[in-house]
Structure 1
Amino acid sequence: MTQFNEIYDRACERKGGEANIHTLLNEPHSCNALSLRTDDEWLEEFTRKIFQSGFYWSVVNAKWDGFREVFWNFSIDKLLYMSPEMYEQRAQDERIIRNYKKVQSIAINCHMIYELQQEHGSFSTLVANWPSSDIINLWLLLRKRGNRLGGNTGPFALRALGKDTFLLTKDVESYLRANHIIDGGLQSLKSLKAAQQHFNELQQSSGLSMTALSQLIAFSVGDNIIQSS
C-alpha cells in the first residue's frame, strides 16, 4: 500500500466514509480563473488574513464592509497615493479594527503588488502561472517582499482565492513530524523544501491537487472525527 493510500483510507475512516470525504474536499481554481482576478482582490485578501491572524475571524468578517469603505475597496490605484498621515488617521476609524501596525501592512503590500505588476503584467498573472510544485517559493516571495505575510498568513490568502497550495496547519505539521519528513523549525528553508518534496511525491502518485492532499492529511490526523451512519 502506498503512503497516499494509507492517508486516504485513514481520512475516509475518520470522516464518514469515501462518499462523504469527497464532499469535504475543495478544488483550486484553474490558471485562467486565477488570472482573471483583479489585483485589488489579492490586496484585500492579504489584508483580511493579516487582521484575522491572532484575532477572532468572525469579528474581522463582521467589520469587513467598514474596511472596504475606509480603504476604497482596496483599489491599488488609489491606495498608492495615500500618504502615511492618511493611513495613520484611518487606522483610528471606528469602522475597522484599529491596529496601526496591521494597517501599515496595507501600504507595504499595495506597493509590493504594484512592483510585481510592473515585472509580470499583473499580480494575478504571477500567481496563476506559479507552479504548485514550487509553491513554497511563492510563499517566500510574499514573505520577503510583502509585510506580515510569513507563516501561514500568505498561504491562507492564496488558498482563499483559489490558488493550489498545501497549508502547514497544526495537523499537517503533526503528520510531517510523525513521518520524519521534517524535524526542525516549521518555517525553516530545510523544512519547507522537505514538505514541498513530499507533497510533490504524493501528487505524482495520486493525481490530486495540493489543496486536496493537504486536506486529506489534515482529515487523517487530529481529534475531529465524523462517525459514519
Structure 2
Amino acid sequence: MSKHIVITGTSRGIGYELALQFANNGHKVLALSRNTSSLAKVSHENITTIATDISKEDDILNAADFVKNQWNSTVDILVNNAGMLINKPFHELTTDDFLKVYQVNVFGVASLTKSLLPFMKSGSHVVTISSMGGIQGSMKFPGLAAYSSAKGAVITLSELLAEEYKEQQVAFNVLAIGAVQTEMLEEAFPGYQAPLSPTEMADYIYNFSLTGNKFYNGKVLQVSSSTP
C-alpha cells in the first residue's frame, strides 16, 4: 500500500537515495532540500521537490501547505535526514557556527516535525537521523563540538516526543549512524574512507522507516559496525 513520505536533505547522499527508493517502490515522496536540481533531473512521477531551508519558518509552512492541499492532510512517515556539519577546533567555533548547526540539526527538526504532526495519524513514524557522535560514551572526534552536541540534543528531543505523542500512536525513533561515504563526510574529512555507501544506508533506513515503529518507540538504534 502506497504511503506518503516526507524526507529532508534530499539533494545528495543518503536523502537522495532514500527518496528514489521510496518512489521506485510506489510511495509518494515530498523531497525537501535547499537544492532541488538533482531530483528534479530524475523527474520521477512519485517525487515532488520543494526548495526548503528547514531553518526558515516560511519554507516549512510551504511544505505543510503542500501536504494539506495536495496530500489530503496525510503524512505516514517523516524522515528528518537534513544535517549540517562544521569541522573546526573548539576554540575557533563561534556562537554563529553553533547556531547554524543547531538551526538545521535541532531547531529545524523540531519545527518541521511540529508542522507535520497534525497530519499524522495512528501508525505514523518519525525517523530522525542522528550520529554515533551524539551517543553518550561513544568515540568522539575533535572538531565536531557543534555537530555532535546537536546530534545528541535531537536524540533527547525524539525520546520526549515519543512520550508526548504515544497516545496518538505516532512513533518517534532515532538512527544514530556511523560513517557513510557521503559528500558531507568527504567535505569534512577529505580522504577518509567510510565502510558504507549512501545507497546501502538508505536501504536500511527505508526498511526501518516502514516497519521499525512496530517494534520500537522512543528508541535510539546505533547503526554502526565499528567497535566500540
TM over 0.5: no
TM-score by length of 1: 0.26
TM-score by length of 2: 0.26
Higher strand fraction (1 or 2): 2
Structure number with greater CO (CA < 8 Å, separation at least 6) is 1
